[in-house]
Amino acid sequence: MIFKSRFDRSIDHVKEKMKDRERTYDRDDMSQIMEKGDKRAMIIAALITIVPLVLIILLVLSLLAYLFIVRGW
């Protein structure tokens, strides 16, 4: 590399800067971060988001199948 020393210096700088952040992430685990009802709320939010989209996609696909098979479109 042409600028290897600069690259190494910048990598060392970033590692030094991120050292404290890595330590804080190592100490946290999800059981301490999440509260009692968070898991249930996340599941409900996912269902509210995903189920209507899946139903719309299935409706469109079944409508297309109806048009191609029954109507002979």
Q: Provide the residue-wise pLDDT of the chain in tens; the chain has 73 residues.
A: 678 888 899 989 888 888 777 565 555 566 677 788 889 999 999 999 999 999 999 999 999 999 999 887 6
pTM for the whole structure: 0.49
Rounded to an integer, what distance in angstroms lies between the CA atom of residue 67 and that of residue 61? 10
* Residue 34 confidence (pLDDT): 76
* Residue 54 confidence (pLDDT): 97
* Residue 53 confidence (pLDDT): 97
Helices (H), 1-72: 4-27, 30-33, 38-69
* Residue 72 confidence (pLDDT): 76
